[in-house]
Structure 1
Protein backbone atom coordinates (compact mmCIF):
# COMPACT_ATOMS: atom_id res chain seq x y z
CA UNK A 1 0.00 0.00 0.00
CA UNK A 2 1.26 3.44 -0.84
CA UNK A 3 2.78 5.21 2.17
CA UNK A 4 0.55 8.29 1.91
CA UNK A 5 -2.63 6.21 1.65
CA UNK A 6 -1.52 4.14 4.63
CA UNK A 7 -0.80 7.26 6.71
CA UNK A 8 -4.21 8.69 5.83
CA UNK A 9 -5.96 5.47 6.81
CA UNK A 10 -4.04 5.28 10.08
CA UNK A 11 -4.97 8.89 10.84
CA UNK A 12 -8.62 8.26 9.95
CA UNK A 13 -8.84 5.23 12.22
CA UNK A 14 -6.63 6.26 15.13
CA UNK A 15 -6.15 10.05 14.87
CA UNK A 16 -8.54 10.76 17.72
CA UNK A 17 -6.20 8.89 20.04
CA UNK A 18 -3.48 11.50 19.51
CA UNK A 19 -3.22 14.61 21.69
CA UNK A 20 -4.70 17.83 20.29
CA UNK A 21 -1.21 19.14 19.51
CA UNK A 22 -0.23 15.90 17.77
CA UNK A 23 -3.48 15.88 15.77
CA UNK A 24 -2.90 19.45 14.69
CA UNK A 25 0.69 18.92 13.52
CA UNK A 26 0.19 15.47 12.00
CA UNK A 27 -3.15 16.44 10.45
CA UNK A 28 -1.60 19.39 8.66
CA UNK A 29 1.12 17.14 7.30
CA UNK A 30 -1.22 14.32 6.22
CA UNK A 31 -4.43 16.12 5.27
CA UNK A 32 -3.02 19.40 3.96
CA UNK A 33 0.25 17.97 2.58
CA UNK A 34 2.31 20.54 4.48
CA UNK A 35 6.04 20.10 4.86
CA UNK A 36 7.74 20.18 8.27
CA UNK A 37 9.13 23.63 7.33
CA UNK A 38 5.65 24.99 6.59
CA UNK A 39 4.26 23.50 9.79
CA UNK A 40 7.15 24.93 11.79
CA UNK A 41 6.56 28.41 10.40
CA UNK A 42 2.82 28.23 11.20
CA UNK A 43 3.35 26.99 14.76
CA UNK A 44 6.46 28.87 15.75
CA UNK A 45 8.54 25.71 16.25
CA UNK A 46 11.66 24.44 14.58
CA UNK A 47 11.55 22.36 11.43
CA UNK A 48 13.22 19.56 13.37
CA UNK A 49 10.53 19.67 16.06
CA UNK A 50 7.81 19.41 13.41
CA UNK A 51 9.65 16.56 11.69
CA UNK A 52 10.12 14.72 15.00
CA UNK A 53 6.44 15.13 15.86
CA UNK A 54 5.42 13.68 12.47
CA UNK A 55 7.73 10.68 12.93
CA UNK A 56 6.53 10.15 16.50
CA UNK A 57 2.89 10.23 15.40
CA UNK A 58 3.65 7.75 12.62
CA UNK A 59 5.11 5.35 15.17
CA UNK A 60 2.20 5.84 17.57
CA UNK A 61 -0.42 5.21 14.87
CA UNK A 62 1.47 2.19 13.49
CA UNK A 63 1.65 0.83 17.03
CA UNK A 64 -2.12 1.10 17.37
CA UNK A 65 -2.54 -0.71 14.05
CA UNK A 66 -0.10 -3.46 15.09
CA UNK A 67 -2.23 -4.12 18.17
CA UNK A 68 -5.75 -3.49 16.89
CA UNK A 69 -5.53 -4.32 13.16
CA UNK A 70 -8.54 -2.10 12.32
CA UNK A 71 -7.12 -0.85 9.01
CA UNK A 72 -6.17 -4.39 8.00
CA UNK A 73 -9.68 -5.65 8.80
CA UNK A 74 -11.24 -2.72 6.96
CA UNK A 75 -9.20 -3.36 3.80
CA UNK A 76 -9.91 -7.10 3.97
CA UNK A 77 -13.65 -6.45 4.31
CA UNK A 78 -13.53 -3.91 1.50
CA UNK A 79 -12.04 -6.54 -0.84
CA UNK A 80 -14.75 -9.03 0.11
CA UNK A 81 -17.48 -6.46 -0.52
CA UNK A 82 -15.92 -5.73 -3.94
CA UNK A 83 -16.07 -9.46 -4.68
CA UNK A 84 -19.75 -9.58 -3.68
CA UNK A 85 -20.43 -6.59 -5.91
CA UNK A 86 -18.67 -8.22 -8.88
CA UNK A 87 -20.57 -11.47 -8.37
CA UNK A 88 -23.92 -9.70 -8.07
CA UNK A 89 -23.23 -7.77 -11.29
CA UNK A 90 -22.35 -11.01 -13.05
CA UNK A 91 -25.57 -12.65 -11.82
CA UNK A 92 -27.60 -10.07 -13.69
CA UNK A 93 -26.22 -11.41 -16.99
CA UNK A 94 -26.08 -15.19 -16.42
CA UNK A 95 -28.09 -18.33 -16.88
CA UNK A 96 -29.88 -19.89 -13.91
CA UNK A 97 -27.32 -22.61 -13.12
CA UNK A 98 -24.38 -20.20 -13.05
CA UNK A 99 -26.55 -17.83 -11.03
CA UNK A 100 -27.00 -20.48 -8.32
CA UNK A 101 -23.24 -21.04 -8.15
CA UNK A 102 -22.56 -17.32 -7.83
CA UNK A 103 -25.21 -16.93 -5.14
CA UNK A 104 -23.55 -19.73 -3.16
CA UNK A 105 -20.22 -17.94 -3.57
CA UNK A 106 -21.77 -14.65 -2.40
CA UNK A 107 -23.10 -16.49 0.62
CA UNK A 108 -19.61 -17.84 1.42
CA UNK A 109 -17.98 -14.42 1.04
CA UNK A 110 -20.63 -12.70 3.17
CA UNK A 111 -20.26 -15.39 5.84
CA UNK A 112 -16.52 -14.70 5.83
CA UNK A 113 -17.20 -11.02 6.42
CA UNK A 114 -19.52 -11.82 9.30
CA UNK A 115 -16.94 -14.12 10.87
CA UNK A 116 -14.26 -11.41 10.58
CA UNK A 117 -16.50 -8.93 12.40
Structure 2
Protein backbone atom coordinates (compact mmCIF):
# COMPACT_ATOMS: atom_id res chain seq x y z
CA UNK A 1 0.00 0.00 0.00
CA UNK A 2 1.39 3.38 -0.98
CA UNK A 3 1.72 6.00 1.72
CA UNK A 4 0.68 9.57 0.99
CA UNK A 5 4.21 10.72 0.13
CA UNK A 6 4.70 7.85 -2.32
CA UNK A 7 1.31 8.58 -3.88
CA UNK A 8 2.16 12.27 -4.20
CA UNK A 9 5.49 11.44 -5.84
CA UNK A 10 3.83 9.00 -8.21
CA UNK A 11 1.10 11.47 -9.19
CA UNK A 12 3.71 14.17 -9.79
CA UNK A 13 5.72 11.84 -12.03
CA UNK A 14 2.59 10.80 -13.91
CA UNK A 15 1.61 14.45 -14.31
CA UNK A 16 5.03 15.20 -15.82
CA UNK A 17 4.41 12.48 -18.37
CA UNK A 18 0.69 12.74 -19.12
CA UNK A 19 -0.62 16.15 -18.07
CA UNK A 20 -1.07 17.22 -21.70
CA UNK A 21 -3.61 14.42 -22.06
CA UNK A 22 -5.76 15.76 -19.22
CA UNK A 23 -8.41 18.45 -19.44
CA UNK A 24 -7.54 21.93 -18.22
CA UNK A 25 -9.84 21.43 -15.24
CA UNK A 26 -8.12 18.18 -14.28
CA UNK A 27 -4.69 19.80 -14.58
CA UNK A 28 -5.81 22.73 -12.39
CA UNK A 29 -7.12 20.51 -9.60
CA UNK A 30 -4.05 18.29 -9.65
CA UNK A 31 -1.73 21.29 -9.73
CA UNK A 32 -3.45 22.95 -6.78
CA UNK A 33 -3.45 19.79 -4.70
CA UNK A 34 -0.15 18.13 -5.64
CA UNK A 35 2.07 21.06 -6.68
CA UNK A 36 0.70 23.93 -4.60
CA UNK A 37 -0.03 21.58 -1.68
CA UNK A 38 -3.43 23.12 -1.01
CA UNK A 39 -6.03 21.27 1.04
CA UNK A 40 -9.39 20.13 -0.28
CA UNK A 41 -11.01 22.96 1.70
CA UNK A 42 -8.70 25.58 0.21
CA UNK A 43 -9.34 24.32 -3.31
CA UNK A 44 -13.08 24.23 -2.71
CA UNK A 45 -12.95 27.91 -1.70
CA UNK A 46 -10.88 28.86 -4.75
CA UNK A 47 -13.08 26.90 -7.15
CA UNK A 48 -16.33 27.70 -5.33
CA UNK A 49 -17.33 24.03 -5.15
CA UNK A 50 -17.80 21.52 -2.35
CA UNK A 51 -14.92 19.58 -0.82
CA UNK A 52 -16.57 16.45 -2.14
CA UNK A 53 -16.49 17.87 -5.69
CA UNK A 54 -12.77 18.61 -5.29
CA UNK A 55 -12.18 15.08 -4.01
CA UNK A 56 -14.14 13.56 -6.91
CA UNK A 57 -12.28 15.65 -9.49
CA UNK A 58 -8.91 14.70 -8.02
CA UNK A 59 -9.88 11.04 -7.89
CA UNK A 60 -11.01 11.06 -11.54
CA UNK A 61 -7.90 12.90 -12.69
CA UNK A 62 -5.63 10.43 -10.86
CA UNK A 63 -7.58 7.54 -12.36
CA UNK A 64 -7.00 9.01 -15.84
CA UNK A 65 -3.26 9.30 -15.13
CA UNK A 66 -3.12 5.69 -13.96
CA UNK A 67 -5.07 4.54 -17.03
CA UNK A 68 -2.62 6.35 -19.33
CA UNK A 69 0.28 4.71 -17.51
CA UNK A 70 -1.38 1.31 -17.75
CA UNK A 71 -1.66 1.69 -21.52
CA UNK A 72 1.58 3.53 -22.33
CA UNK A 73 3.94 2.48 -19.51
CA UNK A 74 6.06 5.61 -19.84
CA UNK A 75 6.80 5.84 -16.12
CA UNK A 76 7.68 2.17 -15.89
CA UNK A 77 10.02 2.51 -18.88
CA UNK A 78 11.57 5.63 -17.38
CA UNK A 79 12.20 3.86 -14.07
CA UNK A 80 13.78 0.90 -15.87
CA UNK A 81 16.09 3.28 -17.77
CA UNK A 82 17.12 4.89 -14.47
CA UNK A 83 17.90 1.46 -13.03
CA UNK A 84 20.03 0.61 -16.07
CA UNK A 85 21.89 3.92 -15.74
CA UNK A 86 22.52 3.22 -12.05
CA UNK A 87 23.82 -0.25 -12.89
CA UNK A 88 26.11 1.14 -15.59
CA UNK A 89 27.46 3.79 -13.22
CA UNK A 90 28.20 1.12 -10.62
CA UNK A 91 29.93 -1.06 -13.21
CA UNK A 92 32.00 1.87 -14.49
CA UNK A 93 33.04 2.82 -10.97
CA UNK A 94 33.97 -0.78 -10.27
CA UNK A 95 35.99 -0.97 -13.49
CA UNK A 96 37.82 2.25 -12.68
CA UNK A 97 38.62 0.90 -9.28
CA UNK A 98 40.22 -2.11 -10.90
CA UNK A 99 42.01 0.07 -13.44
CA UNK A 100 43.48 2.13 -10.62
CA UNK A 101 44.64 -1.04 -8.90
CA UNK A 102 46.26 -2.31 -12.09
CA UNK A 103 47.95 1.02 -12.73
CA UNK A 104 49.32 0.99 -9.20
CA UNK A 105 50.61 -2.55 -9.74
CA UNK A 106 52.37 -1.40 -12.91
CA UNK A 107 53.90 1.53 -11.08
CA UNK A 108 55.13 -0.81 -8.37
CA UNK A 109 56.95 -2.88 -10.97
Normalised TM-score (structure 1):
0.76
- Alignment partner, residue 11 of structure 1: 15
Higher relative contact order (CA 8 A, sep 6+): 2
- Alignment partner, residue 105 of structure 1: none
- Alignment partner, residue 69 of structure 2: 65
- Alignment partner, residue 41 of structure 1: 45
- Structure 2 CA distance, aligned partners of 1:7 and 1:42? 22
Structure 1: which 5+ runs fail to align?
Answer: 97-117
* RMSD (Å) for aligned C-alpha atoms: 1.7
- CA deviations 1:38-76 (Å, max 9, x no partner) are 111111111111110000001100000010000000001
| Structure 1 segment 89-100 matched on structure 2, within 5 A | 89-95=93-99
- Structure 2 CA distance, aligned partners of 1:95 and 1:56? 54
Structure 2: which 5+ runs fail to align?
Answer: 101-109
**Larger Rg belongs to:** 2
Q: Cα distance, 1:95 vs. partner?
A: 4.4
Task: Report runs of 4+ in structure 1 exceeding 2 Å deviation.
Answer: none
Normalised TM-score (structure 2):
0.82
- CA deviations 1:74-99 (Å, max 9, x no partner) are 00110010111111112111049xxx
